[in-house]
């Protein structure tokens, strides 16, 4: 295996447009589809690539892209050609499409169909074959980013592309106009009022703490709801409909009279008011993150968007056996907490660790966490600036591909 040391070694060519095929096999939840769709859309709209997204679960993507028709095998949305990918229908005629493809991206260790791989090997001109990996802040990512590995049978070479929070990684996804959109939204009274009205929720009083909650099944949830209910300050909780809304329904059974808690429903108890929102598109989800004071997020996609929202957030990392996910959590906390003073940094670590099931840091304590809200808000802005200085993943990918093909 060999590696390229940094992007400074690369020369950007002017060759456009490029044709790119992205393969996405949805393993669990929405992160795989979400990241692939963002990348496909950005490469098509900002870099004028001709992007073709093969995805095996259209139903999952449809949650994020409501205009998607799951009954159609092929369709074009936002400049991206989307095709339902299932191996039984991956015929030689489809594999032959590689004759016009310059870039092949297999996302998150999915395996290319054998017919397609064979067609890649037969293509007369060079193909850039990228393995897009999961996001991590761990130190080893720097060493493995842009490493290459030859195929054991074909004259093909795969390059591993790692998202990350270091300048020697691929960075994370961020559209070029995202921060402009955010600033326009938060500075427009009319747009923010329209957003609340669209949701059918009365705009909260300025003294109310607004929290969004998007997480995996979490054993600490009931404790957190109890703390919010019994708190001194009013708190509005906004929850996209899904698995976690079912857990919340159980907590509110005595108020609702049933375990059903779906989009459009709400409940109030003591200091806590909660609203269940429709599962929203990616574009609408950004507005949710911009409208709150604290965001609970999970996995990879919502985790990255929370960072660009420049608001305090709490991450629920994807749980793994034997707590294998905790080193990923530690690595992120080390970066985000780096410039915080000791007391808010320790409170951040305690709360994130407890939320992720690490009881060695003590119980889940909202009061201990939220007392440092101002420090977390300030750090959210400086962290987003640091992340922006690295450059976004689509840009780095475009530079690498164009210089490989020059």
Mean pLDDT of all residues in 234-249 = 88
> Average pLDDT, whole number, for the chain?
89
Task: Please determine, for residue 47, whether its predicted confidence score (pLDDT) is greater than 50.
Answer: yes
Rounded to 10 degrees, what is the CA torsion of 297, 375, 387, 29?
0
Most confident region among 56-65, 184-193, 245-254 by mean pLDDT: 184-193
Residues 214 and 306 occupy one common structural domain: yes
CB of 229 within 8 A of CB of 271?
yes
User: What pLDDT was estimated at residue 9?
Assistant: 43
User: In this structure, is residue 384 part of a structural domain?
Assistant: no
User: In this structure, is residue 382 part of a structural domain?
Assistant: no
Confidence band for 257, pLDDT divided at 50, 70 and 90: low
User: What pLDDT was estimated at residue 93?
Assistant: 59
Last residue of a domain, one of 258, 291, 312: 312
Residue 353: name the closest of 388, 335, 327 by CA: 327
Q: Which residues pair with 104 in a beta bridge?
A: 21, 129
215: domain CATH number is 3.40.50
Q: What are the pLDDT digits (tens) for 199-230?
A: 999 889 999 999 999 999 999 999 999 999 99
Distance, in Å, from the CA atom of 235 to the CA atom of 273, rounded to the nearest integer, reads: 6
Mean pLDDT of all residues in 306-310 = 98
User: In this structure, is residue 328 part of a structural domain?
Assistant: yes
* Pairwise pLDDT comparison (322 vs 315), residue with the higher score: 315
Residues 350 and 266 occupy one common structural domain: no
* Strands (DSSP E) found in 85-132: 103-107, 128-132
User: What pLDDT was estimated at residue 90?
Assistant: 64
Instruction: Work out the angle at residue 9's Cα, subtended by the Cα atoms of residues 4 and 15, and round it to the nearest 5 degrees.
Output: 100
- Bridge-based pairing of strands 128-132 and 157-161 is parallel
Residues 273 and 154 occupy one common structural domain: no
User: In this structure, is residue 354 part of a structural domain?
Assistant: yes
Starting at the edge strand found earlier in the chain, the sheet holding 50-55 runs 74-77, 80-84, 50-55, 19-24, 103-107, 128-132, 157-161, 148-150
Residues 224 and 294 occupy one common structural domain: yes
Residues 6+ apart with CB under 8 A from 205: 234
User: What pLDDT was estimated at residue 255?
Assistant: 57
Instruction: List the structure tokens of 340.
Output: 């915080």
Q: What are the pLDDT digits (tens) for 326-383?
A: 999 999 999 999 999 999 999 999 999 999 999 899 999 999 999 999 999 999 999 9
User: What pLDDT was estimated at residue 10?
Assistant: 41
Residues 286 and 191 occupy one common structural domain: yes
Distance, in Å, from the CA atom of 356 to the CA atom of 364, rounded to the nearest integer, reads: 10
Task: Please determine, for residue 7, whether its predicted confidence score (pLDDT) is greater than 70.
Answer: no
Instruction: Work out the angle at residue 51's Cα, subtended by the Cα atoms of residues 47 and 53, and round it to the nearest 5 degrees.
Output: 140
User: What pLDDT was estimated at residue 94?
Assistant: 64
Q: What are the pLDDT digits (tens) for 64-100?
A: 899 999 999 899 999 999 999 886 566 665 666 666 6
User: What pLDDT was estimated at residue 370?
Assistant: 98
Distance, in Å, from the CA atom of 125 to the CA atom of 106, rounded to the nearest integer, reads: 19
Q: Which residues pair with 130 in a beta bridge?
A: 105, 159
Residues 358 and 248 occupy one common structural domain: no
Distance, in Å, from the CA atom of 50 to the CA atom of 331, rounded to the nearest integer, reads: 36
Residues 114 and 43 occupy one common structural domain: yes
User: What pLDDT was estimated at residue 220?
Assistant: 93
Confidence band for 124, pLDDT divided at 50, 70 and 90: confident
User: In this structure, is residue 144 part of a structural domain?
Assistant: yes
CB of 135 within 8 A of CB of 149?
no
Q: From residue 121, how far is each of 92, 96, 107, 270 by CA, in Å? A: 14, 11, 19, 65
Residues 24 and 136 occupy one common structural domain: yes
Confidence band for 4, pLDDT divided at 50, 70 and 90: very low
Confidence band for 116, pLDDT divided at 50, 70 and 90: confident
Last residue of a domain, one of 312, 331, 366: 312
Residues 6+ apart with CB under 8 A from 92: 115
User: In this structure, is residue 135 part of a structural domain?
Assistant: yes
Rg (CA), the chain: 22
Task: Please determine, for residue 192, whether its predicted confidence score (pLDDT) is greater than 90.
Answer: yes
Residue 346, domain extent: 317-377
Confidence band for 311, pLDDT divided at 50, 70 and 90: very high
| Positions marked catalytic | 32, 300
User: What pLDDT was estimated at residue 89?
Assistant: 62
Confidence band for 122, pLDDT divided at 50, 70 and 90: confident
Q: What are phi and psi of 149, to 5 degrees?
A: -145, 130
Residues 292 and 323 occupy one common structural domain: no
Residues 307 and 351 occupy one common structural domain: no
Residue 372: name the closest of 342, 329, 333, 331 by CA: 342
Residues 27 and 42 occupy one common structural domain: yes
Task: Please determine, for residue 313, whether its predicted confidence score (pLDDT) is greater than 80.
Answer: yes
Residues 6+ apart with CB under 8 A from 130: 103, 104, 105, 106, 158, 159, 161, 397, 401
Mean pLDDT of all residues in 186-193 = 95
Residues 160 and 65 occupy one common structural domain: yes
Instruction: Work out the angle at residue 209's Cα, subtended by the Cα atoms of residues 207 and 213, and round it to the nearest 5 degrees.
Output: 165
Confidence band for 262, pLDDT divided at 50, 70 and 90: confident
Mean pLDDT of all residues in 186-191 = 96
Q: How many CA atoms lie within 13 A of 196 on its CB side?
A: 16
Last residue of a domain, one of 312, 334, 353: 312
User: In this structure, is residue 82 part of a structural domain?
Assistant: yes
Q: What are the pLDDT digits (tens) for 137-162?
A: 999 999 999 999 999 999 999 999 99
- Bridge-based pairing of strands 148-150 and 157-161 is antiparallel
Number of domains comprising the chain: 3
User: In this structure, is residue 142 part of a structural domain?
Assistant: yes
* Strands (DSSP E) found in 108-175: 128-132, 148-150, 157-161
């Amino acid at each position: 295996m060999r590696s390229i040391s940094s992007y400074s070694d690369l020369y950007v060519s002017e060759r456009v447009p490029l044709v790119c095929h992205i393969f996405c096999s949805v393993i669990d939840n929405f992160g795989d589809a979400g990241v692939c769709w963002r990348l496909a859309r950005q490469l098509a709209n900002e870099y004028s690539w001709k992007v073709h997204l093969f995805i095996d679960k259209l139903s999952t993507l449809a949650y994020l892209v409501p205009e998607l028709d799951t009954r159609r095998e092929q369709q074009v949305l936002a400049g991206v050609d989307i095709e339902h990918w299932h191996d039984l229908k991956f015929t030689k005629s489809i594999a032959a499409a590689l004759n016009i493809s310059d870039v092949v991206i297999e996302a998150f260790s999915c395996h290319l169909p054998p017919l397609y791989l064979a067609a890649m090997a037969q293509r007369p001109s060079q193909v850039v074959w990228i393995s897009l990996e999961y996001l991590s802040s761990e130190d080893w990512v720097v060493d493995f980013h842009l490493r290459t590995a030859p195929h054991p049978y074909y004259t093909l070479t795969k390059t591993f592309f790692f998202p990350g929070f270091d300048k020697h990684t691929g960075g994370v996804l961020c559209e070029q106009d995202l921060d402009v959109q955010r600033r326009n939204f938060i500075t427009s009274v009319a747009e923010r009022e329209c957003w609340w009205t669209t949701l059918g929720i009365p705009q909260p009083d300025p003294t109310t703490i607004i929290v969004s909650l998007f997480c995996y099944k979490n054993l600490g949830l009931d404790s957190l709801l109890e703390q919010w209910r019994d708190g001194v300050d009013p708190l509005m909780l906004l929850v996209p409909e899904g698995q976690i809304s079912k857990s919340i329904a159980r907590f509110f059974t005595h108020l609702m009279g049933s375990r059903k808690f779906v989009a459009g429903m709400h409940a109030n108890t003591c200091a806590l008011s909660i609203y269940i929102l429709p599962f929203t598109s990616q574009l609408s989800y950004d507005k949710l993150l911009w409208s709150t004071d604290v965001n609970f997020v999970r996995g990879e996609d919502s985790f990255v968007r929370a960072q660009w929202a420049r608001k305090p957030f709490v991450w629920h990392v994807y749980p793994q056996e034997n707590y294998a996910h905790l080193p990923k959590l530690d690595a992120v906390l080390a970066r985000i907490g780096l410039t915080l003073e000791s007391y808010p940094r320790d409170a951040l670590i305690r709360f994130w660790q407890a939320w992720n099931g690490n009881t060695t840091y003590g119980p889940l304590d909202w009061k201990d966490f939220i007392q440092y809200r101002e420090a977390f808000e300030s750090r959210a802005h400086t962290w987003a600036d640091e992340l922006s200085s690295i450059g976004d993943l689509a840009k780095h990918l475009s530079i690498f591909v164009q210089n490989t093909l020059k």
